[in-house]
């Protein structure tokens, strides 16, 4: 049984004031067993983490990206080692916005994954198809090629210490969610892809769904056999929505 994982990707949103408000609101909620990670912009990682510690909130901190390089003359870049140094434990890699807007190829994402693993960070690797690719019947081919390049670089075991996130590009920020059946079919194909390398790692790996997850649609997605949590964009900026989504991942005890 995999413990659910709910990750907030704040993208380029937030401010010190918004962070204060978010944390203040979150302290009013009851603790959950679900593992939670919040990924604010680089500059707020430390501020956010300090506030979590001060308020004894059981949430880990992640970054949204890291460099392909370890150190040196790479102006504006942030290395995986630096992230680890500031108390960051996770890093999102290969988000479709980075693939599409910043030209990140499978090879670049794989190099970042190697840096992340070397620095002791847990990678959250994003894969997903565009609407055009889906309509051309290429979804499985696209996500498996994105997955395989990561598996070639860091192996199934290292990936399973982090997470894989299926984010159909057409569902991100559009309000259009993949149906639970559509998402489950891709998650299953991804798990089979990992299984072909390492079956233990495949059964331990948490595969998250991302793309317009909201409190109203989360429970049905999380009820699918191969959906082990979510990568939440817009809805994660509101503490109460992020909490409600995390709550939806809690599997109720079966009373016999």
Tell me the backbone φ, ψ of residue 166, rounded to 5 degrees: -90, 115
Query: Which residue is nearest to ligand 13P, using beta carbons?
Result: 233
- Smallest distance from ligand 13P to CB 231, Å: 4
Candidate ranges 45-53, 68-76, 230-238, 242-250; the one touching ligand 13P (CB under 6 A): 230-238
- Smallest distance from ligand 13P to CB 208, Å: 9
3-state secondary structure of 188: helix
Candidates 231, 239, 246, 248; binder of ligand 13P (CB under 6 A) is 231
- For residue 236, give both structure tokens: 């994660």
Cross-strand pairs, 62: 90
Residues 56-75 that bind ligand 13P (CB under 6 A): none
- Which pairs from 134-140 meet CB under 8 Å and 24+ separation? 134/168, 134/170, 139/168, 139/186, 140/186, 140/189
- Is residue 92 within 8 A of residue 65, CB to CB? The reply is yes
CA distance 237 to 121: 23
Contact flags string 94-113 toward ligand 13P, x per CB under 6 A: -x------------------
Contact between 120 and ligand 13P per CB under 6 A: no
Catalytic residue among 95, 97, 129, 187: 95
Give 10 or 26: the residue with its C-beta nearer to ligand 13P.
10
Contact between 187 and ligand 13P per CB under 6 A: no
Instruction: Tell me, yes or no, if 187 is annotated catalytic.
Output: no
- Smallest distance from ligand 13P to CB 123, Å: 14
CA distance 217 to 87: 32
- Smallest distance from ligand 13P to CB 70, Å: 26
Candidates 125, 183, 213, 227; binder of ligand 13P (CB under 6 A) is 213
Cα dihedral value 180, 182, 186, 188, nearest 10: 50
- Is residue 83 within 8 A of residue 119, CB to CB? The reply is yes
> Under the rule (CB under 6 A), what is the footprint of ligand 13P?
9, 95, 167, 172-173, 210-213, 231-235
Residues taking part in catalysis: 95, 167
């Amino acid at each position: 049984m995999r413990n659910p994982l709910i990750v907030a990707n704040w993208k380029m949103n937030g401010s010190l004031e918004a962070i204060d408000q978010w944390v203040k609101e979150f302290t009013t909620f009851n603790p959950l067993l679900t593992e939670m990670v919040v990924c604010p912009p680089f500059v707020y990682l430390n501020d956010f983490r300090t506030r979590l510690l001060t308020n004894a909130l059981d949430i880990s901190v992640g970054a949204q990206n890291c460099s392909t390089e370890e150190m040196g003359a790479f102006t504006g870049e942030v290395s995986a080692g630096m992230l680890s140094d500031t108390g960051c434990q996770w890093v999102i890699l290969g988000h479709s916005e980075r693939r599409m807007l910043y030209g990140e190829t499978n090879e670049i994402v794989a190099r970042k994954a190697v840096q992340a693993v070397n620095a002791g960070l847990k990678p959250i690797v994003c894969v997903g198809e565009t609407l055009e690719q889906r309509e051309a019947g290429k979804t499985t081919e696209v996500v498996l090629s994105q997955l395989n390049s990561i598996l070639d670089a860091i192996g199934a075991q290292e990936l399973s210490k982090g997470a894989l996130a299926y984010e159909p590009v057409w569902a991100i920020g559009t309000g259009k969610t993949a149906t639970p059946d559509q998402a489950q079919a891709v998650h299953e194909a991804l798990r089979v892809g990992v299984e072909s390398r390492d079956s233990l790692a495949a059964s331990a790996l948490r595969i998250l769904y991302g793309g317009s997850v909201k409190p109203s649609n989360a429970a049905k997605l999380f009820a699918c056999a191969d959906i082990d949590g979510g990568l939440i964009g817009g809805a994660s900026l509101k503490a109460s929505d992020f909490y409600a989504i995390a709550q939806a991942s809690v599997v109720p005890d079966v009373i016999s």
